[in-house]
Amino acid sequence: MENLLNLNVVWFVLIGVLLTGYAILDGFDLGVGAVHLFNKSDEHRRITLNAIGPVWDGNEVWLVTGGGALFAAFPIVYASVFSGFYTAFMLLLFVLIFRAVAIEFRSKRESRLWRKTWDVLFSFSSILIALIMGIAIGNIIQGLPVDANHEIRISTLSLFNPYALLVGITTVALFMMHGSIYLVLKTEGELQQNLRGRVNNAVIFFVICYAATTMATLIYFPHMAQPFKDHPSLFLLGLLNMLAVANIPREIHHGRELRAFLSSAASIAALMGLFAVGLFPNFVISSTDPNYSLNIYNAASSQKTLQIMLWVAILGMPFVLSYTISIYWVFRGKVKLNNMSY
């Protein structure tokens, strides 16, 4: 653990924090979208949509800012990965656009066909966003053909390989679980009863996916496990993850939805932690030649910029956290529909 206190490491961690914030926050509203069609009545769909109404846009800002921070701190990673994933990321953009407008447009007309169309678009785009992000993570875990000029040349189809799809489906399952718990927290009465049952199914679905992904990773990509062999104390992270997941059905059973939600958030944070530890100090491991891998040193901005950015983060993050906390505080409690609702 020599020399780990430098700006490059700090920025690796900070980007990890931003993307984890994204996964926890947008994760639940993507999950709400993924399970949207399980709710049958228009009223229930409106309630669940309004449960994320005031917050989904702010949640997505974590992605925009995480992306911006990656651009600023590690521009070579940003450029190589985004251009390497060109078609996949274009598809991601399209579904991000569809999802945003589906949320906004659905309520604008009473017509059944109108609402049904946007419901389907909202749900499918939410699933696809989670899937594509998971597929991207899956490919990062496998390593990518980075060449000497930092370029990644890979066909779009080969991005959709079985392992990457498995990670993609696991991400969908994770967000479904996370979103279902959020909905239990925000609803009451009959709807909440339906949702409680679904949380348990979602937990089971996720645990199966998670077990399969973990096995596949250990068997086919053992380099992800190397840091845990070198530093056994890191195994606590894996343990924490399992405990957090196991705690969810327990809390739901006792009617402590907030604690269930926090457990699920902790499990997302632990998963992101496992991913980051497995990669560190690389962002992208080159499958062509390990020397071409993009890491926190050869892909970084100058020390001066990392320093400036650290000041930006130190000045900005307290504001970001206080906005986030106050918005969730203002909109706490069960959803009530009124004339300004979706």
Binding to other proteins (CB under 8 A): which residues in 98-137? 98, 100-101, 103-105, 108-109
Cβ at position 153, least distance to other proteins in Å: 5
Told to check if 220 binds other proteins by CB under 8 A, we report no
Alpha carbon distance 285, 295 (integer Å): 8
Binders of other proteins among residues 22 to 81 (CB under 8 A) are: 50, 53-55, 57-58, 60-61, 63-65, 67-69, 71-76, 78-81
Cβ at position 239, least distance to other proteins in Å: 33
Binders of other proteins among residues 148 to 187 (CB under 8 A) are: 149-153, 156
Stretch that binds other proteins, among 246-254, 265-273, 286-294, 307-315 (CB under 8 A): 307-315
Name the residue nearer to other proteins (CB basis): 82 or 221. Answer: 82
Cβ at position 101, least distance to other proteins in Å: 5
Binders of other proteins among residues 241 to 280 (CB under 8 A) are: none
Told to check if 319 binds other proteins by CB under 8 A, we report yes
Alpha carbon distance 260, 178 (integer Å): 9
- Is-contact 329 55, C-beta < 8 A? no
Cβ at position 292, least distance to other proteins in Å: 13
Alpha carbon distance 311, 82 (integer Å): 26
Size of the site for other proteins (CB under 8 A): 73
Told to check if 326 binds other proteins by CB under 8 A, we report yes
Cβ at position 132, least distance to other proteins in Å: 12
Nearest 5°: the CA angle 20, 24, 26 is 105
3-state helix, strand, coil in the chain (%, to 5): 80, 5, 20
Query: Which 3 state secondary structure label does DSSP give 283?
Result: strand
155 φψ region: left (φ > 0), alpha (ψ -120 to 50), beta (else): beta
DSSP letter assigned to residue 142? H
Alpha carbon distance 219, 59 (integer Å): 35
Name the residue nearer to other proteins (CB basis): 79 or 234. Answer: 79
Which residues are 294's β-sheet partners? Answer: 284
Query: Which 3 state secondary structure label does DSSP give 282?
Result: strand
Told to check if 13 binds other proteins by CB under 8 A, we report no
- Look at the block and give the residue holding tokens 């846009």: 57
**Sole binder of other proteins in the list 4, 93, 204, 236 (CB under 8 A):** 93
